[in-house]
Each structure stands twice: as structure tokens, then as C-alpha cells.
Amino acid sequence: MRQVILDTETTGLNPATGDRIIEIGCVEMIGRRLTDRTFHYYVNPERDIDAGAFAVHGLSREFLSDKPTFSHIVEELIEFVDGSEVVIHNAPFDLGFLDNEFALLKRPPFRGLAAKITDTLLDARQMFPGKRNSLDALCERFAISNKHRTLHGALLDAQLLAEVYVAMTRGQEDLSIDLIDYTVGTDASGHVKALPSNLKILSASNEDCLLHEKILIEIAKASKKDPIWSPLSIAS
């Protein structure tokens, strides 16, 4: 499925009190790979910017004064998003603002354009319960560099979120299992060669077994799923 990773910046926190979108950034992903297609606009909100919001993104009313209004970019946004899976971090926030902008233009809700909406914040909270799951925290957790991110920006955050999403949803298909050469250790007929008689065999100690069991329990708790392995018998 075609995916669009989306982020917005706004004048404040609540569209119900008149806050508006001032920047929107989207990147396209097909087959879990970014394409060269992006959608990015600064938007004139025709109102002041809250001081707290300005501290986050650094976008002033003066800077935005000559930018297009949302009504001038809406058709292009619809064309870019329509029919895709939309991936957003903290989706209720962005969707609330987008639906409000569409309502002001007397259009159906934005969310109706998406074939599916994925909230990476919700997914992250299920994967890492009790931990910080902001975009910055996830970048750090998955070793994704965001050193160039001094202020929030919609397009940059969408690009970072795309990397985070791929890391969060990476499955066994991404492991290099098929690169293993299973012919090593076999003879010409495919039979396993006899092992050398002087090999030193090291058995796991009781302490090693206990530590291993502890790690398996932690993995099972973090995944919130029944483990595929059977419980281990721990030596007393």
C-alpha cells in the first residue's frame, strides 16, 4: 500500500479556540521505501502565533504573512494523500487540525481521504510501555540521527517519522536469514561433516541460565504477546 507520512505545525494547541495550521509536510513511501515525492507548504493562518508554539517551531506571523492560505493548497493536499495509508505521530492532534481546516472550507473531514490511519505514538506506547515515546525519544531508541533538528519542522519531522516507522515495524523479512550459507560444514554429497574430536564444549552455568531466563521474560512483557518459545527449566 502507498503510505504518506504526515506532520503539521500550528499556531497553538486547540483548533476549537481558533488555532490554525501553519506548516504541513508529507513524504511518500511505497513498499516501505521513500520515494522522491514530498508535499510541503508554509501556510498563512491569518492570526497571531502563541508564544509557546513559536518557541517550538520558530515560525512567526511576519514570516507566514506572504505564504498561501490553506484554501490555496487544499486541492494539492487532497491529490497527494487520497487513498493512501496516512502515518502520523499523535494522530488525534494533527487530524483535529486538518479536519477543522477542511470544515472551514465546508469540505468532508480530511481523515476520510485515508484508506487507513496509523498512529505511531499509540503503537510506540504498546511496544514500550512506561517509556518516553516522543519522536525525539524514538529516534534515540532506534539510533536515528536527529542532531540537525533544533526546532520542529513539519517536513523534517515527517522524514524522521518515516525512518522511525520503518524501524518500529521491521519484521523478520528484513533479517538476512537468506544470506546464510547452509552448505558450510557439509561434504560434496550434502552430509554434515564429522566435528573435530578436540572441540572444547562450554556449558552454560546456572547464573547464565538465570540471566537468559530473565531476558526472555522481559522480552515477553515488552511484546505483550505469548512467546513462541517454551518456558525454560532453570536449575536451582
User: Catalytic site residues?
Assistant: 152
Burial of residue 47, with CB atoms counted within 10 A of its CB: 0-12 exposed, 13-18 middle, 19 or more buried: middle
In order, the DSSP letters of 96-129 are HHHHHHHHHTT---GGGG-SEEEEHHHHHHHHST
Burial of residue 73, with CB atoms counted within 10 A of its CB: 0-12 exposed, 13-18 middle, 19 or more buried: buried
CB 212 within 8 A of CB 235: no
To the nearest 10 degrees (0 to 180), the angle between helices 120-127 and 154-168 is 40
Beta strands in the chain (DSSP E): 3-10, 21-30, 33-42, 85-88, 116-119
Q: What is the DSSP letter of 65?
A: T
Query: In sequence order, which residues have a C-beta less than 8 Å from that of residue 162 and are 6 or more positions away?
Result: 5, 27, 29, 34, 87
Record the cell numbers describing residue 45, joined without a space. 493562518
